[in-house]
Structures are given as C-alpha cells and as structure tokens.
Chain A
Amino acid sequence: MKQWYMVIDVRWCHDCNNCFMSCKDEHVDNEWPGYTAAQPRHGHRWMNIERRERGRYSRNDYTYLPMPCQHCEKCPVVDAGYATRREDGIVMIDLEAAKGKEDVVGMCPYGAVYYNEEAGIAQKCTMCAHLLDDPDWIPGIPRCAHSCPTKALKAFHLEPEEMEVMIKTEGLEVYKPELGTNPHVFYKNLHRFTKNFVAAGVLVDGDCYEDASVTLTKDGEVVEIQKTNFFGDFKFDGLDDGKYVIQIDAAGKHKDIDVEIAGKSLNLDFIEF
C-alpha cells in the first residue's frame, strides 16, 4: 500500500521558515475535526528547524535541519496507545486516548510532540492529513512542502518498494537511526548536520596556491583527494570523529599535517609553503 514520505535535502534549506509559517497558517485558529485541534498561536513547533554552525571564519557554514514528526513505523507514542498509524503511514495522535495526557510529549524521542494547554491534548504534525484526504486540495501535498521555495522539502506518496529505490539512488538517510524507530522522513546531505569538515588554504610564498594536491588519509587509507581552488582552499566534509593525516603537495614541496576531528569542524587557516 502506498505510504506518505517526506524527503528533506538539507543542502537546500536556508531557514526561510516558509514551512514553519505555512504550518501555523494551516493550523492556528483552524480546527480540523477528526484530525487535530487548532494549534496554539505561539510555542508549538510542529516543524522545528534546528540550526548547526560549523567551523570558523572564513571557512564556516550553517546547516538547518527541518524536523517535523518523523512518522515512525515503530512509534513509541503508538506503542503506548496514544497515537495510531494510518494505513498510509501517517502517525496521528489519538484524540480520545491522548486527551489530558501531558506526558505523551516526553514519549517521542525526536521531541516532535507538543502539549496544547487550552485544548488539553498533545499535538504534532499530521502531515496535513486533512488536506491529503481532501480530493479538492489541488496541490496534493502538505502545506510545508507546498510553500518551500527551494524544494528542499518534498512529500511523496509511494509504494515502500519505490521508496527503497529512491533511498538508494538519492543516498537518503534517517536522522538518528540509532533510535531504531524507522522514520518516514528521510534526509539528503545529512552529513552537513551530523558530521564535520576540515578546511584550510594553501599558501606558497605568501600567495594563494591553486591546484595543490591534498590527500586526506585515515589509518593509512586514502579517504579523499582534492585540488585546491584559486584561493588555495580545500575542504573535506562528512568526516566522522577520529585522527586523520592531510598530505599536501604544492610547488614541488610536501607537508603532512595531523588533525583530529572530535565533534567539531576545523578551519586550519593558512598552511604556508
């Protein structure tokens, strides 16, 4: 049976918040009976955009991770009886069972559930199920995806086998796979949020040196080889924690540099020859 999935490419998210604003537009002051109560005007983040900063001037970047409910196949809130999983994969808070149960908020390992004091119920992203179920809803996708100007955020209605193919061809990952909940939200370029880089500029006689050969190795194995750009810059990204050696060949000279990635990205500034 076809399932709803979201695919979010963090490469193209720049925190414009259209998804967040559209979610509020759809749910604040609007009650969708059978789906969810109206969202409080402030406080809830059914689409929660996390920010991570890496590196230091001038080799630094920011990555944004839009996080809706992950619509997990093994959802602890479902297991506890406070939510149900529809046949199409959308996880819905059980409007009866979850009534008055503030502790439902703590059950979600992704922190995607919020409590609505006024309505006395836990709430979260419904993937705009009330719209997906409505044949008159022409865009046919949740509001967040419809308003995303860079198409970083997309929604798909696919057979699980089709999704498997997309996961492989596009290199999709889930966020925090160690939780083992099998989310229906997949990310592309997730390493920008979860892993680190090492970057520097190569100088020869005080000037930026283009086309230096830079080899990153770990435990004697080559991880990646790059050429420096016209600023003499190189950047190895997607690195796990650990000890690495950077071997640089520039203008007939050679240098080895030992670095350790330990939860932080590194800007080594200039490496001078």
Chain B
Amino acid sequence: IRLTNSSTGGPVFVYVKDGKIVRITPMDFDSTDPEGWKIEARGRVFKAPRYTTIAPFTAGQKSMIYSDRRILYPMKRVDFDPNGERNIQNRGISGYERISWDEATDIVASEINRIKREVGPGGIMSTPSSHHLWGNVGYRHSTYFRFMNLMGFTYADHNPDSWEGWHWGGMHMWGFSWRLGCPEQYDLLEDGLKYAEMIVFWSSDPEVNSGIYAAYESHIRRRWLDELGVKMVFIDPFFNHSANMWGMKWFSPKVGTDHALSFAIAYTWLTEGTYDKEYVATHAYGFEEWADYVLGKGEDGIPKTCEWAEKESGIPACDIRALAREWAKKNTYLAAGGMGGWGGACRATHGIEWTRGMIALATMQGLGKPGSNIWSTTQGVPTDYEFYFPGYAEGGISGDCANSAAGFKFAWRMFDGKTTFPAPVKVNIEAGQHIPRLKIPECIMNGKFEWYGKGFCGNAIENQLHPYQYPAPGYGKIKMYWKYGGPHIGTMTATNRYAKMYTSESLEFVVSQSIWFEGEVPFADIILPACTNYERWDISEFANCSGYIPDNFQMANNRVISLQAKCIEPLGESMSDYEIYALMAKKLGIYDIFTEGKDELDWVKQYYNATDCPKLMDWEDFFKKGYLVVPDNPNRKKTPALRWFAEDRVRDTPDWGPAPNQSVALKGLQTTTGKVEFISTSLKRFEEQGFVDEYRPAMHKYVPAWESWHAEVAKKYPLGMLSPHPRFSMHTMGDAKDSFMNDIKDHRVLVDGWYYWIIRMNSVDAEARGIKDGDLVRAYNDRGSVILCAQVGERVQPGTVHSYESCAEYAPLGKPGCSADRGGCVNILTPDRYMSKYACGMAPNSAQVEVEKWDGGIYEIY
C-alpha cells in the first residue's frame, strides 16, 4: 500500500508491505490536484511545476529508520544506581544494560519529583536539538513543550544559530525583530522574473538547501532566470555548488573578510556617484556620516578602496570594481544568505558587520523598488498566502505563546478553552530561570553565568540588552538534564566542553531521549528510545516552519499539506515522543491534563480542523487521500516585499511586523527612525548607557573579524576554516547511523573500515604539508583535534579549508572531551566566544586551525 508522510526534505509517498517500508519516493500530483500559479514575465508564462522534490537525506531516510544505531529498548548505564553510587565520573565511558519501560519511567519520575521537592522545577534542565523529524503535532514546539511545560523545567534557550549576524547586527539597522533581522520575501519571484538582470549570491548556496526544508524546489526558478539571461555572481570562500552550476564568476574572499568587499563596493558607488541618492536621502539615517567614514574621512582615515579591499580579502581590485559598476548599472538582486538573510557569513566571526554591509549595499541601490531587493531565489513563490495552515513553530498542541509562535494566530484556533487547553510555560518566561544553550557547560561546571539577551530576541530590538544570570534570582541550580536528541557536540561550538560537562558532580541525573545511539546520547544515565515520524501519526506542510520565518511555505512551488501516516509499528520497544510523555505523565500524576484523553491521531484531527484545510477537503477525505494541494488564488493582491517601504506606504504585505506599537502609524521600519540606520540608534542608546561593544559599534564599520588571518591566533593556526551547514544531511539528520549517506563520495570517505568526515583544502596548502588527496589528517587548534579525510583541490583558495558542521557521530579516541575525535565533529575546533561582548550568539562558521597528516595519535589535552 502507498501511504503519505513528510520530512524536513519534502513530502513523500511511502510504500509499505507486510509491516515493512519498501520504498520512500517524492510525491507526484495526480489529475485531481489543482493547478498552481502562473507568472507572466518578459513575454513568457512560468507555471508552478506539477511535482515535488526531496532532499538526499529524505531519499535515504529508510536507512535511518532501519538502522543498527536505533535505540530499541530503554537502557540504564551499568554503573548508575539512583539510590546508591551514581558514578558520574564514568559518563561517556561505561556501557548500558536493557531495562523495562516501567523501571525506566519509575527512575525518571522519582528523580523529577525529588528535584522538584528539593529546588523546584527550575532544577530540571531540558533542551531539544534545532531539528528533529518533521511533523507539527510531534514537533518540539508542540508535544515536547506541552509535556515539559506541564512538568516544569528550565529550558536551555536556543541562540539564533542560523540568523546570528542578522539577529545581532541586522536588527539594529532595519528592525525585523520578528524575523530575527532577516527581510520579508513576499512575491519576489514575479519581481525577479520581470526585472532581474543580475543576482549577486553572497554566502548563498541555494542549489544545496533551497532556503530550508524545501529540497530542490528553487532549482527551476534559477533555470528560468538563466534562460532570461540573468547573470549570476557568487561570493563565498568555498566554491559552492550553486556557483559551479550558475556562476559567471566566483569570488573567494579570505575567511572573515567579506565585509571588506562590501565597503569597497560602497566606496566605488560613492566616488562614482552611482547609488540611489534620492532613495538614500529619504530612507536612510546617518548615511552622510557613514559615507565620510567609507571615503576615509572618518576617525581611522582609511579610504575603503578596492585596492584596500584586495589587501584585506585577496580579491583583485579590478574584479571588485567591475562587479560594483555592473551592479550599479543593472537591476541587481542581492542574494545575501540562503533565504534572503540567513546562514553563511552571518554565522562567522565577522557576521555582524557582514550583515550590516549587505543591508547597506541593498539600501544604496533602492531596496524594495522593482528590480532591487534582497532575494536569494528561495522564497517569494506566489502561492496562496491567505490560506492558513500553521508551521511547526506555531506551537501545535502546546499552545505555548512564550516559547513558540502560537500566540500569533494558532493557539486561538486550536484551543476552545472549554474542552481543550494549552500548556503555558511558567519557568522559561522573561522573569524566570534561563540557561543559554551555548553556555550550558559553563553554567553546569562553574555554577554561575551572566549574559545579555534571551535566546531569540524576537519581541523588540531592545530585548537584546536585557541582562540575565544563572541561576536566576531565587531559583535553584540545575541538578538534572533531560536531553532530547543528541547533537550538541556536532552542532555547537568548542564542543569538547559539552563532553566534559557530563562528568560534573553537580549534574546528578541525565536522561537522554533519542532515536539513535549517537552524539552525546552515550553520556546519559537513562536512555529513553523514541521512534521516527514513520512510526506515529502526524500532520505538516512542505517547508512550513513559520515562527521566526513567517509564511515560509513560499519556498516550495506548491503548498502541500500531508497527513503523516503511521506507516509501521515502532521498532523494538521504541515509542513516539507523545507516548513516552503520556507514560511519564501517568507516573507524574498529570496524565489527564497532558492527553485530554486523546491519542496522537485525535490531536492530528483537532489540528486539521483548526486550520483552513476543511474549507477544501473534509477530514475523512484528507485521511483517505493523505495529502492536499492548496489551489492557486488568482484574486490575491500581489505585494512585493518592501515595496511599501520604498514607496512610503503603509505596509501591505501579510508579514507579522512591525507591530503597531513598534512603528508610527504603521509606516516605516521597526527602527527608532523608521529608516535603514547606517548609525544604529538602538546601539547608540546602549553605548550612551555604558554598554560599549567593540565588535558591534553604533556605526556600521569595518571591524576586522576577531578570529581570522588578522588575529594573533593565526600565527599558530594559519588556516581559516569555513564550516557551513552541511550539504547532504539536515543538521545531524541523515549522517552516520550506518545510513546510505555514508556512501556518498562527497560526504564521508571509507578508510580502513571507518567512514571519515571530509576536510577540503587547496593543493598548495596540501603540498606544503605533505598531504595527498584521501590522506587522513588531524585538524587542530587549542580547542582540540579532529581526524578527517583530506579532499585536495580547487574548491577553496590557499589559506582556507572547508569542512561542514553537524556531524552526528562523536568518536573520541581516548578520554571523552579531551582526546581527538574521528567522528568528524569539527565544531570541536570552532570558537565558544560570543560574537561580541553584548551579542550572545555563536560564530561557528569560521575558526583558525592547522592541519597535518595524522600519525595515529589520540592527542589528549587538558
């Protein structure tokens, strides 16, 4: 039989026979599915494709479901006795024994109750990974928050790990706090097809990620643009896959120097008078003073010429000048990041000023006018923006308005307050207890930490300077960690810290709830086996996460809503997260409140009926067909992103902000002046209050990256390592686990029976170190060592190495947290320093390292 499901990489058909998944394929439409949109531009008609695409980790998903790394039974660390010797020092070293669900939940429940009675619910810390498997009911904002909020816990706040520079820098220049500093993208595909002459992809590889979750949906759009003669230029230290497919030119700045190029481009426009002077006069604040700085009339006295930028970045001045001139001459879109903002250089040590540089350039060319915008071809598809189906970040069955976007729309449709109720948060509120995910190890090991800005500062620009401390006044310290998924070692920064933290005596109890035995799961005292979304019921829409990326279903060419069928029974004794929590809720005495007497399928139905779907198809038909394609809405008024700003009108896009209370008469941007601020008024206020931030000055300046070739550390570690989000896997999903992905030549390489992660280096650097293609090498700095397989070639310039982040496997050769890892966690090498003193984000995309041939040593440090 053919069932439906969906994934972080697209909706799928699942063929099942005798209780086993036979195959998983992309979803094809049939003749009963409605026609999609049409765009007429330059004498051609462009139509929504009649198919969906999937990502490679979705294509190989079966090997993750049926993997020998699945955890099939509850387990207990052999030398852990909750009533006796806990042997905390052996976490990560000793093995496990199988126990029953009854025993496992008894231990977890009694520890929870003990700690709540000792120090209150704040003593229990939990946090999920950035991503787990797809499905709005089973998602972390939904089932996880519903249970955890009812139990009570300190949430380790996520930092905006893919937005960083936009969040901590961009937001102070143009607002968009509800999007964490990234711009809206409505209806830009039509604008692009009509007017684009050139697109500059800067730190953007849409061919690989299509934004996020959208598989290969955007490929066809670039094909159309290419057919229309649109030129595409790529700026990225790594010769990325989009650059290879589309680029007429590739610029490879030294790691951490992109913003030297943006200043030189601005310099060229200023000196040649080729920017939009009228627009800037009415839409920018602080521009004249900033222009003086660029021209060398500021305090540093350095004109930011193309020749100056060549010295900083290694890009020939003539190429920078040629690009600047063509950009000014032609209708040019700036594809800054993967999604119109997001990813790439914004996650690097110069991320704040790089982002501000992108906004500066777009503003100088009349941002929002026809043919001029920040747009990376991954969004802006004209599907029906009026049809309401929420994304996973809209809270699902939790209705948590503080830690999800439930409060915007969905909670009020989902819960009637008579028969069904949300589960609001109590501890993780502004005045409650917090712990920043990036500094969990410091909080646990040192017992004290202070920082600014709680995770995602989505409510207002000023939220970024709100001070926090751990423990919060009056709250107890963390005694228990309930880890949900296991990826921090492969995804955070300087991650030996996380491994070391587990042997801290203050952490009395560790539970890991995970599908696979990987990452930091083997540090737990009790392991609870979860199942995949193919083993439970759920519902979702293709590429719709919403929340801080409102309406991002517009990444996919069609709005496809899928019933996620329970295709097979959970493997072994694993259970869905919902069932695990229901079992726990029973032991904790909150079963009825948690479940309201419903199973997952009941919640899925309640969810369906809270959306606009029943207008098109009733539940029974949807349940039978398994998916729904939202028809085109030709009557919808087209509202290109930021056109309202360019034309000084009240905003007409369906975006969620600026909120009425953060704008004047619904006009202008969210900034104090309502304009694009080249001198940020919010940062200026911070400075005047004494919060002077060396790496985030009020005026957008060329601040050299604090870890790059400029830095002292480069003398010892001369290679700049670029570490972007991975190509084939979705964060850690798809990697390792004995999956098919291990066999992808450009993902891992099999050497002597072990699948090694890849580091890419230039032939010049390789030769100087006696390294040949395929050699095993040690990449290292003061933070640790990682054993990798060298791929030698021209994908990076001399001086730069490239290795993707998000390895799922952590395989220390000696003592965990101290020795070289051969799993491939290059995040062991990335800086744990915050982006700047008061910008508490991470910079994992750049680090200084050295690489040498591996001699087989285990390289223990500390």
Contact surface of A with B, Cβ cutoff 8 Å? 12, 14-18, 20-22, 24-26, 28-30, 41-43, 45, 49, 51, 53, 55-58, 60-62, 138-139, 143, 146-147, 149-150, 201, 203, 206-208, 229-233, 270
Contact = CB atoms under 8 A, between A and B. Distances in A.
A139 B28 contact: yes
A14 B319 contact: no
A137 B795 CA distance: 41
Contact of B216 (A16, A29, A49, A270): A16
18 contacts: A17-B747, A20-B744, A21-B60, A22-B59, A25-B23, A25-B24, A25-B60, A25-B63, A28-B62, A41-B63, A51-B746, A55-B794, A60-B250, A61-B244, A147-B26, A207-B322, A231-B322, A270-B318
B523 to A, nearest CB: 28
A205 B26 CA distance: 54
Q: Which 3 A-B pairs have the closest CB atoms?
A: A149-B216, A21-B59, A208-B322
Contacts of A146: 25-26
Contact of A230 (B63, B215, B316, B322): B322
Contacts of A206: 318
B309 interface: no
Contacts of A43: 743
Interface residues of B, number: 53
A27 to B, nearest CB: 10
B56 interface: yes
Contacts of A208: 318-319, 321-322
Contacts of B744: 17, 20-21
B742 A143 contact: no
B249 A231 contact: yes
A60 B326 CA distance: 22
Interface string B238-257: 01010011001111100000
A18 B53 CA distance: 10
B656 interface: no
Interface in B218-241: 219, 231, 239, 241
Given A14-B241, A230-B322, A147 B248 contact: no
A28 B61 CA distance: 12
A233 B249 contact: yes
B754 interface: no
Given A42-B742, A53-B794, A233-B249, A150 B322 contact: no
Given A53-B794, A203-B318, A24 B745 contact: no
B321 A138 contact: no
A256 to B, nearest CB: 23
A232 B322 contact: yes
Most chain-B CB neighbours within 10 Å: which of A15, A24, A146, A230? A230
B407 to A, nearest CB: 36
Nearest to A139: B28
A45 B318 CA distance: 45
A207 B321 contact: yes
Query: Per DSSP, are chain A's interface residues mostly helix, strand or loop, or mixed?
Result: mixed
Contacts of B22: 30
Nearest to B198: A230
Interface in B697-712: none
Contacts of A270: 316, 318
Contact of A25 (B241, B248, B728, B740): B740
A42 B743 contact: yes
Nearest to B251: A58
A72 to B, nearest CB: 24
B793 A53 contact: yes
B35 interface: no
Contacts of A29: 62, 66
A231 B24 CA distance: 45
Contacts of B319: 58, 201, 208, 231
A53 B239 CA distance: 12
A25 B534 CA distance: 15
Interface in B533-591: none
B267 to A, nearest CB: 15
Contacts of B414: none
Contacts of A231: 248-249, 319, 322-323
A57 B250 contact: yes
A129 to B, nearest CB: 15
B448 to A, nearest CB: 47
B761 interface: no
Given A42-B742, A270-B318, 18 more contacts: A12-B245, A17-B59, A18-B54, A18-B59, A21-B56, A21-B740, A24-B740, A25-B62, A28-B62, A29-B66, A49-B745, A58-B249, A149-B54, A149-B219, A208-B318, A229-B248, A231-B319, A270-B316
A58 B250 contact: yes
B797 interface: yes
Most chain-B CB neighbours within 10 Å: which of A12, A28, A147, A229? A147
Nearest to A50: B745
A51 B319 CA distance: 29
Contacts of B746: 15, 17, 51
